[in-house]
Amino acid sequence: MTDALRRHDPAIRGFASDNNAGVHPEVLEAIILANGGHQPAYGADDYTEHIQRVFGRHFGEQAATYPVCTGTGANVIALQACVPRWGAVIAAESAHAYLDEGGAPEKMAGIKFHPVATPEGKLTPELIDREAWGWGNEHRAQPSAVLLSQSTELGTCYSPAEIRAICDHAHELGMLVHMDGARLANAAASLDEPMRRFTADAGVDVVSFGGTKNGLLLGEAVVVLSPDKVRDLDYLRMMSMQLMSKMRFISVQFEALLSGDLWLRSAAHANAMAARLHSAAREIDGVRLTRPVQANSVFAILPREAGERLQKRHRFYVWNERTGEVRWMCAFDTTPEDVDNLAADLAAEMRKP
């Protein structure tokens, strides 16, 4: 029966997204462990209670964790908790929540974005000031929060000092700071820093913590780091359709991920595979690497025809149709052989007239 249900070749891995990877075996084991018997629904289960302490070890005892179903949902409710109805969010114009979530923050939460052009996807206090103005002017959506992505959509990472400078500046202006941490583990592995160092300790008020990009079946978490400023997550999660009834199956995955070092092992491996791919690609004539590799993504420009031929053997996305820039993403299960095969096929395509 199991073989009859299989609809794909499990030996095939691509470079389109770390979301395309399967579930880490240790996470699957944890889900099975949590199965059987009855547990209270909607987060009143033993597993969800326990992960409050697990997240507290990574983000501080003050952290309050709210498991949710999706990353978009996490961003929407976290931003809702930071921004009044008349408020706006300052974000890099490349930020996923602004660019790639189908307008969910605007449509579902009524949140206005003030996007800022940034080098390599990173905000600075000076860049924030380009949109941090107009308070008291009823004709302008009031800047109320700053959105950071760590790592960014362009694969770059903020240092703890950079985040501290942004948080101090935002707080001086009366704004809160939300961090989209869909790949927070990759940033921690790249920086060789504990996650608390560039979140709670740096002044971030609330984090959307990613799980599915690092080996979970489903589930993300909103981690409130400033409970005196970021409130009402219970109600926002429910009204945003992010309250899962059988929440134990989300929570136990986070316990498997964060109780030991699985989160770091998986992220560090994905980063290492991206570094391996970057090293191989830079030796290939005609391939122009376009961005620094600080997490688990590699960006490059290559001839359109070569890219299209390569996509027939390896899944990946064209990041910028106008320039021909492509993105290769590595995951926890990307192997050195996967990387070497992509590099070899890329070299072969680049040699063709």
**What is the pTM assigned to this prediction?**
0.95
pLDDT at 2: 66
CATH code for the domain defined by 26-258: 3.40.640.10
37 with 225: CB under 8 angstroms?
no
Cβ partners under 8 Å of residue 183, min gap 6? 18, 150, 151, 210, 213, 214, 267, 295, 296
pLDDT per position as a tens digit, 51-66: 999 999 999 999 999 9
Q: Do domains 2-20+262-351 and 26-258 have the same CATH topology?
A: no
- Beta-bridge mates of residue 329: 297
First CA to last CA distance, the chain? 48
Residue 4's pLDDT band (cuts 50, 70, 90): confident
pLDDT per position as a tens digit, 227-267: 999 999 999 999 999 999 999 999 999 999 999 999 999 99
Residue 13's pLDDT band (cuts 50, 70, 90): confident
> Average of pLDDT values for 95-108?
92
CATH architecture, domain defined by 2-20+262-351:
Alpha-Beta Complex (3.90)
- By DSSP bridging, strand 220-224 and strand 317-320 are unpaired
Per-position DSSP letters for 297-310, written without gaps between them: EEEEE--HHHHHHH
pLDDT at 67: 98
Given a cut of 80, whether residue 168 has pLDDT beyond it is yes
Residue 22's pLDDT band (cuts 50, 70, 90): very high
pLDDT at 120: 92
Domain residue ranges of the chain, discontinuous segments joined by +: 2-20+262-351, 26-258
Phi, psi of 90 (to 5 degrees): -90, 125
Alpha-carbon separation of residue 136 from 69, 82, 142 (angstroms): 37, 18, 8
pLDDT per position as a tens digit, 266-295: 999 999 999 999 999 999 999 999 999 999
297 with 157: CB under 8 angstroms?
no
Among 6, 9, 21, which residue's Cα sits nearest to residue 273? 21
* Alpha-carbon span 55 to 61, nearest angstrom: 8
Residue 347's pLDDT band (cuts 50, 70, 90): very high
> Average of pLDDT values for 181-207?
98
pLDDT per position as a tens digit, 294-335: 999 999 999 999 999 999 999 999 999 999 999 999 999 999
Given a cut of 90, whether residue 9 has pLDDT beyond it is no
Residue 35's pLDDT band (cuts 50, 70, 90): very high
